[in-house]
Amino acid sequence: MRETPRPEGTVGDTRAEPPRPRPGRALAHAPGASGSGTPHRSDDRAPQTPRGARHPGPSGRLGTIPPVPGRPPLFLCLYALVFALLTWQVVAEGPLRRADERAGRALSGSRLPGRAAEFLADLGNLTVAVPVLLAVLACTAWRGHRAGTFRWWLPAVAAALAMAAVPALVVPLKAAIGRPGPPGMAGHDGFYPSGHAATAAVAYGAAALLLLPLLRGSYGRRALLAGCAVLNVAVGFGLVRRGYHWPLDVVASWLLCGMLLHVMVALVGRYGEPPGKRPEL
């Protein structure tokens, strides 16, 4: 009998053939697909995670808040919701307002000397806070112009508009709500929200945001933001300690100005980039 020749690759054969690609399998997993060899994604598609599609902004941009199509930022909605809740409690004379007035009377009798509290409260005056902001506006605009930054004037204009919006919002709210002041301000009303706290929050907050891109290290940026927060808390405490405002008057101003600063950052982030890098809304 003739023996049938044994096919190659049977048991006992030490020579193994390399696996051959089957027709119909995805070529994106192969090392040569689209010239990159990255598995699970071809180079022709953009990364599916939002972080992978972001581009670092040029010097002079404020923050990294990307515009979300059809949806305002989360913090903006949160600020507006809490501000509406506090305003409702103040107008309806709810339990939060009664607790606020008890806390205000307790803080006004604290051990901080009156002169120190007066100094802290004066940091929210227009004659103190606005010149600080104007100096930072001039400095950052000049540096942006010298560096040839695209629309170097936009951050300064956005900060000036945020500052101008403070009296446009605070004065009508004071007149509409008409909250009476602390015992030292008897016979007057229109103390909610606090104009001094709002002026300090926008002036010092906008100045910090304008100076933020000029600092390279993360430590310096955190120190700047922390210093701005401590300064605004000191102004608010001075206003309450001297009996100029209730605590909720100050907190409401912080919430209102937080919304203004978020709009300022969103404006610069949206229109402060060259057209080729501008995100689509």
pLDDT tens column, 212-239: 988 888 899 999 999 999 999 999 999 9
Is residue 63 predicted with pLDDT exceeding 90?
no
Cis, bond preceding 193 (omega within 30 deg of 0): yes
Which of the four pLDDT bands, split at 50, 70 and 90, describes residue 108?
A: confident
Spans of all domains in the chain: 74-274
Q: State the chain's mean pLDDT as an integer.
A: 80
**pLDDT score, position 275:** 60
Under DSSP, is residue 245 helix (H, G, I), strand (E, B) or coil? coil
**pLDDT score, position 270:** 84
**pLDDT score, position 30:** 45
Sequence-distant (≥ 6) Cβ neighbours of residue 249 within 8 angstroms: 179, 191, 192, 193, 194, 197, 239
Is residue 33 predicted with pLDDT exceeding 80?
no
Q: What is the CATH architecture of 74-274? A: Up-down Bundle (1.20)
Closest among 191, 188, 189, 193 to 170, alpha carbons compared: 193
Average pLDDT estimate for 99-113? 86
- The C-alpha atoms of residue 133 and residue 117 are separated, in whole angstroms, by 22
Amino acid at 89: Q
Average pLDDT estimate for 149-175? 93
